[in-house]
Amino acid sequence: MSDKPIQQESGQPDEVSLKILLLNFTAFFVYAFKRWRVIAFFVIFGALIGLAVSLFKKTQYTASLSFVLEEQSSGGSLGAAASIAAQFGINLGGMGQSAGFFKEDNIIEFLKSRAMINQTLLSEVAFPDEPRMLVDRYVGLKRLRDKWENEARLKGFQFKDTIGIYLQDSLMSAFYKDIVNNHLEVSKPDKRLNIIEVRFESPDELFSKAFVETLIANASEFYIRTRTKRAKENLDVLTHQVDSVRKELNDAIRGVASATDANPNPNRAFQSLRVPSQLHTVDVQANTEILKELVANQELAKITLRNERPIIQALDQPILPLENDKIGKAKGIVIGGFLGGIIVGFGLLGAFLYRRIMDE
């Protein structure tokens, strides 16, 4: 069968019938079959490229962790208790306050912030071989020590868990940009839900897992500390006041006992002998009432602190072995050969159509 394109006869409607489509498809098949050597070359070349990719491409391991923020509502009876406490000049703190900075998508940018990533890199993690800071593991997987051998100021440089060191801060800035642009991804898989997913990809499986877990642990600690700061400060003040009043009460009780021991049977004709005991008794009664109110407010402050303590609840944590993009030899050959065939197929189709247009 000739591979010359089939054309419609002149005068027929400008429509492409099924018959003409089939005839042209057959013509293209014959055209391509005559060039089987070209097709075989591209298929084999593509298969070799796929094999090379499977052999030399670094495997990337992806650690994924999803979580949701859980916060207790501080309303109802607790709000009424806070109103009662306010009558005594006590601010339980944090009552009914919103999440503020941590609302909606702000948490995503917070997790990608330089402060959080630097804190994570400078955190020490217990790896199977030895405890190391994540930044040292990062430098190792990037093979930066070999490059630093020729630079006097970087040779043998050791990172410290602190800030304000000029050279370290400069390096950490470069690491931060690389991690945000090439390794770390923070997103909300479903915009309707409050579930946030953190993904980290690197050639080091243990580093990927440790980085994600440490980042969430540091963010959770910072989040809880920030959200409970006011409530904790008020609880500390109340605790100090309770301890002070209790000490005064104990001293007053001892004073009553001492005054009584000094005059066990005072003469009624000398009322002044009863004054010391009465004064200490008044102190005992006053301090007892004050202590009672302070202890009640202290318990309310403890309840407030518990209610203001949010929880970052992990839903899915990274589990070894991690998800990876490793391509096997057979898979690389098949994919490479298939892509090579697709490329040469489109090339032959373009040449066939060009020939048809030129013959019209």
DSSP character string of 291-359:
HHHHHHHHHHHHHHHHHT--EEEEEE---SSPEE----HHHHHHHHHHHHHHHHHHHHHHHHHHHHHHH
Hey, what are 138's tokens? Answer: 């990062």
Residue 300 and residue 304: Cα distance in Å, rounded? 6
The answer, yes or no, to whether residue 50 has pLDDT greater than 70, is yes
Please give the pLDDT value at position 269: 52
Cβ count within 10 A of residue 186 = 18
- pLDDT 10s digits, 141-180: 999 988 898 888 888 899 988 877 889 999 999 999 999 9
Please give the pLDDT value at position 100: 52
- pLDDT 10s digits, 105-128: 678 888 999 999 999 999 999 998
pTM of the model: 0.64
CA 133 to chain centre: 18
The answer, yes or no, to whether residue 198 has pLDDT greater than 80, is yes
Cβ count within 10 A of residue 18 = 7
Question: 185 — phi, psi (to 5°)?
Answer: -140, 125
Please give the pLDDT value at position 104: 54
Q: Hey, what amino acid is at 153?
A: R
Please give the pLDDT value at position 156: 84
Please give the pLDDT value at position 213: 94
Question: 58 — phi, psi (to 5°)?
Answer: -70, 135
Cβ count within 10 A of residue 181 = 8
Residue 60 and residue 323: Cα distance in Å, rounded? 8
